[in-house]
Structure formats: C-alpha cells, structure tokens
Chains A and B, each alone.
Chain A
Amino acid sequence: MKTSNALLFILVLVYINASTGWPTHTVCKEDNLEIHYKSCDPEQDFAFSIDHCSDIATHTFDIRGAMVLRHSIKELYVKLDMIINGKTVLTYSETLCGPGHAKLIFCGKKKGEHLYYEGPVTLGIKEIPQGDYTLSAKLTNQDHVTVACADFTVKNYLDYY
C-alpha cells in the first residue's frame, strides 16, 4: 500500500496565458538530480510525478501520470528523444497499447476520459544517462495523432551502484 506516496504527488498548475506555453513543473529537486518538465502539446498540460526520485538510478521506478485524453487511445505509442546541445543523440520507442487484447488497463480509453497511471516504469536501457540533457517524450495513438507531448529537463549526477 502506497497511500503515503500520494503526498509526494505535488503539482502546481498555474494558469497563465497559453501563448507563452505551459508552466514548467518540477518532478525532482535533490542534490544530484533535478527533473523538470513542460508540456509541448498546445492543447493541454498534464500531471506527472516520480514516487522516489532516487529510484531513478535503478532499472525500474514508480511513476504517476494523469491527463484528460483529447483523443482515444485504442493504440498508444511512446517515443523518447534524448537531446544534448540541441542534437538528438538517442531515440527510444515502445508500444504501450498494441492492436489486439489490451495489456494495460488504460488501453482503449476514449476521448474525453481521464487517463491515470500509477505503477512501475521499466526502461529499455540499463540506466538513465548522467549529465545535463533534455528528454523529449511524445505519445501518439492509432491515427498518429499526438496524445501528449512533453520536454523533460534532466540534471542527473546520481551515483550508480
């Protein structure tokens, strides 16, 4: 039971003029690790948090994310671009909801519904790279429409063990 984790789920949504973009949210702010994100979807912002920021040094960590779906997600694909100094150095993509029987609970949700996910995330790479960089994440659906989009600014100087 991780009810206490909910307390970590701090989110401040500041209403500002959309022409200047969505506000930057802080996910982690520790000595060796800072993660901020900003939605790059002109239609909406979304909520995102990591339960224990230090877990990021391990292979798997727990996250929570919530948003209102502007498009149905019969199928859902995620694409991550790692950008250092304006150049994409790494690209990673995965199918979250494929055709056929849904693997995850939220697969098949409809336009207008809430999407809420809390649970572990396992990355295809061994560990999250160290240094200062941007992670550009994009979720697309079966019609190749952007469901959500965000740029994560990462300053990671955690020691791996």
Chain B
Amino acid sequence: MPRRGALAVGTLLVLLQLAFVPSPLAGCLLDPCLEVTPNTTFRCTGLNSSGVPDGVPNTTQNLDLSFSNLKSLGSNYFESVPELHLLDLSRCHLHTIEDNSFVDLHRLSTLILTANSLQHLGKAAFHGLTSLKKLVLVETNRTSLSELPIGHLHTLEELNLGHNSITSLKLPEYFATMTSLRHLSFFSNMITSISRGDLDALREGNRVNLTLVLSLNRIKSIEPGAFAGVHLGELALRSAFESTMMQTSLQGLAGLQVSRLIVGDFSDSERMQDFERGLLDGLCRVQMGEFVLIWFKDFEEESDTLFDCVGNVSTIRLVGLGLEEISQVPVWSKVKQLECKKCSFEDVPAQKLSLFKELRVLRITKNKRLKNFKQKFEGLSNLEVIDLSENSLSLRGCCSSRFQNCPNLKHLNLSFNSNIGLTGDFINVKNLLYLDLQHTTLYGPGSYPVFLSLQRLIYLDISHTKTEVKSQCTFCGLNSLQVLKMAGNSFGDNRLANNFKNLSRLHTLDISSCKLEHVDQSTFDALSELKELNISNNKLMTFSPGVYQPLQALRVLDFSRNQLTVLLGSAREILPGSLVLLDISQNLFDCSCVHLDFLEWIKEKQELLQNKELMLCHTPSYVANVNLPSFDLSSCHVSAGQIASPVVVLLCVLVLLLLIYKYYFQLYYSVVLLSGCKRYAERGDTYDAFVIHSSKDQEWVIKELVEPLEGGKPPFHLCLYYRDFLPGVPIVTNIIQEGFLSSRNVIAVISTDFLESKWCSFEFDIAQSWQLVEGKTGIIMIVLEDVNKALLRQRLGLSRYLRRNTYLEWKDKEISRHIFWRQLTGVLLEGKNWNHEEVKLM
C-alpha cells in the first residue's frame, strides 16, 4: 500500500480540527471589511454572517470573502455588487450553491471556490457568468465531470479541478465549445483509467495552447488510441500512474501531439518509481517538442533505454534524476537542447553526449557530485552553448583540449564550480563570445595573459574567482570585449594601473569589491566607449578628474561604498553629460560648510543620484549620519551672520568712542562729581570768586570788577580764566580745578555776549550743578544793563534761575554803583578766612 494513502485516523482528526479552528476565531477578531483599494477592492475574510457585507459598495470589482461562514448561496446572492471581476470564496463552508447565485455577475472573470465541500450544486448555479475566464474548484468534493454545470461557460480559459475525487476523464461534449481553454487541471484526483473517446472533445479545434494536468492520479491504464489525434500544448503526468502501471499506460499515449510532455514524480512522493527497461517505450509514438523527465530516483543499468523513444525530441530536460551515466544515444538523435539538472554524474559524460550530433545547447547544472571533466566533446559542430554551472568541477588545463571540433561554441558557463586552472589554450574554442567563470577559484588569470586567443570574446565574468591581477597584460587579446565583470578580486598593491589598455570596445566594467586604494592616472585612457563603471565597495579616497576624464560615454557610474569625502568642483565638471545614474552613496562625506558648493550640487542633482537615502554625512561629528540631500544648508548661511556680529560690536565701540570724544567735558565733569570731590576739596579756597564771563566783556571785568575788588580793602582774590588758568591743561580741567574747586563763589557776568558763548553757558551749567551737589559755592549773578531781555528769555535755564534768585544789576550810575559794590562785597565777605597779614593791613 502506498504510504501517501496511509493518512491515519488521528491525522485526519487533526486536519478536520484545523479546518474549523480559524473561522470562529477570525470571525470575532477581524473587522468585517478591509478596503484594500478604494471603492474597488475589499477583503472581508472570516465573516460569520451570510450575504455580502453592507459596507461593500456596488462599484466593487474584487471581493475576498474567504474563510467566512456562508454555508450556502441563494439566487441573486451578489446582486449588490454587479461590477465584480474577482470573487474569492475560499473555505466558506459552502455546501450548497443554488441556481442563479451568480446571475448578476456578468463581468466576473475569476471565481474561486477552493475548499468548499459542495453537496449540492444547482444545474444553473453558474448562470450569468458570461465573462468567466478562471474557475477554481479545488478541493470541492467533486466526483465526476458530467455533473458539473459549466457547459455554457464558453469564455473559460482556466478550469482547476485539483484535489477532488474525480474518477473519470470522460470530458463532456461542451468542452469542444470551450475554445479559449488554456489550462485544465485534474491535479490529485482519482482518475484510474483513460478510455478511448474520453478526450474526444479536445480533438476538434486548435488546442496547442492547452495545458492538461493529470499529475497525482492513480491511472492504471490508458486505452490505446485515447490520445490519438489530440494536439496539446502541455501534458503533465507527474506521479500520475499506479506504481507498476506506468509503462503500459504510457503506451496509450500513442498518437498524441504535444509541445511539452512532463513525466516523473515529486521528490517527496511516496510512489517513487524505479526506472525500468523500456519504461518510456510508449513515447515512441508520441510527437513532442520538449520532454521533461523529473524526479526519478533509481536509475540503474536499465537506464540505457532512456533515449530510445525520445531521441527525436528537440528539447530534453532531465531534472532531479539519480542518473549516473548517460544512456545509450540513438544514432538518429535529433536532440538540440539537453539539460541535466540535479543529476548524479561524477564525470562530465562528454563522450556519450558527443553522440547527440545535432546538439546546440547543453546544460549540466546543480550536480553536487560532478567533479571531473576528463572526457572530450568531439565533433559537435552545432554546439553553441555549454552550461556547466553550479557543479563541483575541479579541473586543470581548461579549456581547449575538452572541445575537439566544436567550432561554433560561443557560450561557455563554468561558474559556481570548485576550481579551474586556465592555461591560456583556447585554440579550439577561439570563437567564444561569452565566458562565465564567476565564483569559481581560478588559477592563471592575473599572473600571465591567458585570454590571448579569445579575440572575439565580448562577455567575460571572472567575479569572485580569487584572482589577483599582477600582470599588466592580464586582459591582453580581448580586443572585442564589451563586458568585463571582475568584482571581488584584487589588484597588485591594491592599485589600478594600466590594466585595461587594450579594451577599447568595453561597454561595461565591474571592478567593485576589489580592495582598490588607488587608481593611476592613465588607467581609463583607452575606455572611451565605456557606458557603465562599477567601482563601488573599494577603499578609494579621491575622485581625481584626470583619471576619469577619458570616460566621456559613461552613462552609469557606481562609486558607492568608498571613502570619498567630497566631489570637488573640478571632478564634477568632468562628469560627462551622458551620465544618467550616479551612485556615490555610503561614502565618508564631509558636510562642513567649506564644501557648500558640493552640498548645493547634491541638492541640484537629485535625479542623477542613486540611493540618496544612504548618502550620509560622516564629518564633522555634529552632523554625522545626517542625510546629505536633505542637509540644511541654511546652517552655513547663519554662520555668515555669526561673522557679522563682531562687526556690529566694533561699530558700537566706534560710536561709543565718538560719543565720548564729543561729550568729553560732560563726562569728565561727571567723573569728578562722582569720585573726585573730596580730593579736590582739600585744595582749599584759593580764590574768593571764580568769574564766569565772556571774553568780550573782559574789559568791563578788569575795570569794574578786578580793579575795585582786588585793589580795594579788604582785597579779594578773583579767579580769571585769562590770568589764572594753567597752560597745558585742558580747559575743562582748568574750569573745574582752578575755577570751581578753588573758589568760594562764582560770579557770572551776564551780558549779550555771555548768552551767545557756549563756553559761558557750559560753565554756568556746571556752576548750577555744583551748587546743587556741594551746596557750597554760591552763584552771584551780575546782569549788565545792555542785556537783550528777549534773548535772555530764550535761555530757559538761565531766565528761570534769574526769576528764582536775587541778582545784581549793573547800571552805569554813581548811586547804583555804590549799592552794587556794597552788595557784592557783602556776599564775598561771607565765609572768608582772614589770614594774619590781611588782618594787619586792615
């Protein structure tokens, strides 16, 4: 008994449990509907109520009601959503679909009914579905095709009846009218036999686009003639047969015409079948374009019949076979393409493969045991492509000797193997156009010129091959090369020197991850046609304009993941106008404002730059990891303001100095007032009075004041500016020190000239302040008779003073003069210290 059938009771119990777990839980957890695309796509999974949810508008085109508990569908069930294109009813616990359930859905193209154990399906259940293209009835408890009411669905393109219990492939007649049908799947059903007439409906019309899947069935027999005259696009027969019935069943395929036939198993199939002698004999009478044999395990000695009946097929794919040797090849083989994927060869079976004289493409891939390549391909004059990638090949002396008389070999893929030694002998394969050696450890390249004879090669991939380019002539001979990929290797001294001098046709160059630290000046001189340069993930610190200037055809430049701090103006200038993609991300950018022009350039070139989100500032530390394109340039402009502030301060100081210069007198006086009073007071009263007068009144002062007062008795000592002020001392200092500080009284001679003199008014102001602060010196006002009273009134401070204080008036009359002298002498006598001499004189 096959193991797959042994689903024990316990297992089934769990499965059943699982089937019912999600729905009650989901029903109480999820919101009724999720609007995936506004107005058109709604997902309402896990509903516990029947009917289309109220929130779904009539414009809805895609509706997902999967995992809901709908139980049954009645007529006009979906009339509220007539625009539907896709309706998903997966696992909705449906047991009944009544007539006309979908009758309103004229536009519906996809109906999914997966995993509903339908007990009752009305005869008119699918009526109205005039546009239906895809109907999925997987796991819906179907047992026969005849009861399926789909005869009117002429537009159907895909009908999936997988995982059901259909026992017969007897296609009802209406399949003849389904001319658009492209995919018909009976995957995992119970079909046991296919009889003559079962596929009659497919005989008529053009079915070259139809894929018929019969995998995972239990076919015991196919009646000869059942497939005669049937023309299919693809027929899949994986694990389709009862274990021992495959050989005889295949006989029944006689007369079939098919573009692709897939026969075989699954890797986890319980029914894995041994390959017996003559197993595929039935295919001799099948006409096919491509034959796929997949996941057969035990090929033994009997396998030599493998190609007996498929030798006339143009394409053969052998996947996951335990094939250790290539079977006997029929002499009339017409195989053009042969692929052995995941087979069990230990040596490349070149000798036997050479018998496929028509062979054009050969692929032997993903074969872990394949280590040796000792045999030679010989005389395959049509061979163009050999793909030996992803094996474990380890060979020396590649490659000419392995290919005798294969003059048309253009494409050789030896990538992802263990290790290969290249001798430089490519004489027999000198017409190679493509050579792929990536991820295979190479011996030879880099040390000496191994590619000399590959003059026509246009594509070379030696990425990650542990090659160290030491020789200047590493790529000599590759004069036609357009693409060179050599990422993940290294160069001598980590320096790119004149290695590419002959590669003038190069379009694409990948030298990423090559540990490069320096690029010499003339490195790219010959690469004037280069369109793509990938030099990322190296250790380059500069982008020197001189080095990259020759690359005037460049369209794509990847300079990411280096140690570039800035792209200088000169470097930016030489970037060719043809450049469309530039990647300088993940470098160590310096974002200080010194490089403001670079930062501005980045902002301008947003369209050109790639991976902008990975362009981060590295220095200075306060902007580390700031994204470069979104860098705030205004911070640089603010610093200009910071420069301006000292200027402002300087200006203020200047203004202050000017003010000080202008108001020096007042300031000096204030200083004296505030701090110097006591010190000056000690000077004592040298004079009896300080006379404030205009220089124009000097004559009057001498005649009427000085002579009578100083010459009279008692003699008074007056302070006069023209006489007593010290030379070499500022006037202000004299006024204060000699005048006010040394005098007991102040005599102000008010005349018209006094009012006009600035010095006089200054002196008077000080006298007033002095009187206020010290409360000592009295001001004796003498108003001369010819003073203009109107002018006097204009001098506000003075006129107010005169109004409030008694003053002396000088009149040139004898009697008035007498009174004047008495009053003045009286005032001056007050508080005078008489010394001895003066007393004696009296």
Enumerate chain A interface residues (CB-CB to B < 8 A).
1-3, 5-7, 9-11, 13, 15, 18, 43-47, 64, 66-68, 70, 101-105, 110-114, 116-119
Contacts and interface: CB of A to CB of B under 8 A. Distances in A.
A9 B14 contact: yes
Most B-side CB within 10 Å, residue of A6, A15, A45 = A6
A6 B19 contact: no
A116 B10 contact: no
B254 interface: no
Nearest to A6: B8
B266 interface: yes
B561 interface: no
Contacts of A43: 22, 26
Q: Please provide the 6 A-B residue pairs with the shortest distance between their CB atoms, ordered closest to farther.
A: A6-B8, A112-B90, A112-B91, A112-B115, A112-B114, A105-B266
A133 to B, nearest CB: 27
Contacts of B268: 103-105, 117, 119
Which secondary structure dominates chain A's binding surface? loop
A113 B116 CA distance: 9
Contact of A103 (B21, B160, B267): B267
Nearest to A100: B319
- What interface size band does chain B fall in? 35 or more
Contact of A6 (B6, B115, B267): B6
Contacts of B163: 113
A18 B29 contact: yes
Contacts of A2: 3, 6
A12 to B, nearest CB: 10
Interface in B68-113: 88, 90-91, 112
13 contacts: A7-B8, A13-B14, A13-B17, A18-B29, A44-B22, A45-B21, A70-B67, A101-B262, A102-B266, A104-B266, A110-B136, A111-B88, A113-B114
Nearest to A107: B266
A110 B115 CA distance: 9
A112 B139 contact: yes
B10 A9 contact: yes
Interface of B: 1, 3, 6-11, 14-15, 17-19, 21-22, 25-26, 29, 66-67, 88, 90-91, 112, 114-115, 136, 138-139, 160, 163, 216, 239, 262, 266-269, 292, 294-295, 319-320
Contact of A113 (B139, B216, B295): B139
A114 B14 CA distance: 11
A9 B15 CA distance: 11
Given A6-B6, A7-B8, A112-B67, A101 B14 contact: no
Contacts of B138: 110, 112-113
Given A43-B26, A103-B266, A105-B269, 16 more contacts: A3-B8, A13-B21, A18-B25, A44-B22, A44-B25, A45-B21, A101-B294, A102-B266, A103-B268, A103-B295, A105-B216, A111-B66, A113-B114, A113-B163, A116-B7, A118-B11
B11 A9 contact: yes
Contacts of B216: 105
Contacts of A10: 10
Contacts of A112: 66-67, 90-91, 112, 114-115, 138-139
B18 A46 contact: yes
A62 to B, nearest CB: 11
Given A13-B17, A46-B18, A114-B19, A6 B319 contact: no
B546 to A, nearest CB: 46
A9 B8 contact: yes
A66 B14 contact: yes
A1 B10 contact: no
B10 to A, nearest CB: 5
A43 B138 CA distance: 22
B8 A1 contact: no
The listed residue with most A CB atoms (<10 A of its CB), out of B1, B11, B115, B160, is B11
Given A2-B6, A113-B139, A44 B21 contact: yes
B9 A6 contact: yes
B159 to A, nearest CB: 14
Given A103-B295, A105-B266, A111-B90, A67 B18 contact: yes
Nearest to A114: B15
Contacts, number: 112
A23 to B, nearest CB: 11
A46 B321 CA distance: 33
Contacts of B262: 101
A113 B115 contact: yes
A13 B13 CA distance: 11
Nearest to B139: A113
Contacts of A1: 1, 3, 6
The residue among A9, A66, A112 with the most chain B CB atoms within 10 A of its own CB is: A112
A102 B215 CA distance: 11
Contacts of A113: 114-115, 138-139, 163
A105 B269 CA distance: 7
A83 B163 CA distance: 38
Nearest to B91: A112
B402 to A, nearest CB: 29
Given A66-B18, A68-B18, A6 B11 contact: yes
A68 B266 contact: no
Q: Which of B11, B14, B163 has the most CB of A within 10 A?
A: B14
Nearest to A4: B8
B811 to A, nearest CB: 114
A45 B19 CA distance: 11
A68 B114 contact: no
A58 to B, nearest CB: 18
A103 B320 contact: yes
A111 B112 CA distance: 10
B110 to A, nearest CB: 12
Nearest to B320: A103
A119 B136 CA distance: 28
Query: Taking each of A2, A9, A45, A105, which has the highest tally of chain B beta carbons within 10 Å of its own beta carbon?
Result: A105
A81 B74 CA distance: 48
Contacts of A68: 18-19, 21-22, 91, 115
Nearest to A67: B18
B92 to A, nearest CB: 9
A90 B26 CA distance: 34
A43 B295 CA distance: 35
Nearest to B160: A110
A155 to B, nearest CB: 25
A55 to B, nearest CB: 17
Contacts of B88: 111
A105 B239 contact: yes
A116 B11 contact: yes
B190 to A, nearest CB: 16
A46 B25 CA distance: 14
A10 B114 CA distance: 28
A113 B90 CA distance: 8
Contacts of B66: 111-112
A64 B11 contact: yes
A106 to B, nearest CB: 8
A3 to B, nearest CB: 5
Contact of B10 (A7, A111, A119): A7
Contacts of A119: 268
A93 B720 CA distance: 112
A84 B758 CA distance: 97
Given A1-B6, A66-B18, A112-B90, A104 B114 contact: no
A158 B216 CA distance: 39
